[in-house]
Structure 1
Amino acid sequence: MLAARDFVFLKRGINWANLPGFKESINSQKQKFAAFGLNTQDLVALIGGHTIRTSGRLLSNYRLYNFTNGGPDPAINPAFVPQLQALCPQNGDGTRRIDLDIGSGNRFDTSFFVNLRNGREIEYSKKLWM
Structure 2
Amino acid sequence: MDLSDVCSLCLSLPGAEETTPFGPDALVFKTGGKMFALTIPDDFPPRLNLKCDPARAAELRETHAGITPGYHMNKRHWNTVLLDGSVPSALVRELILHSHALVVKSLPVAVRRQLDGGAGKDSGKDP
TM over 0.5: no
The structure in which a higher percent of residues are strand is 2
Task: Place the TM-score, normalised by the shorter chain, in its bin.
Answer: under 0.3
TM-score (norm 1): 0.25
More helix by share: 1
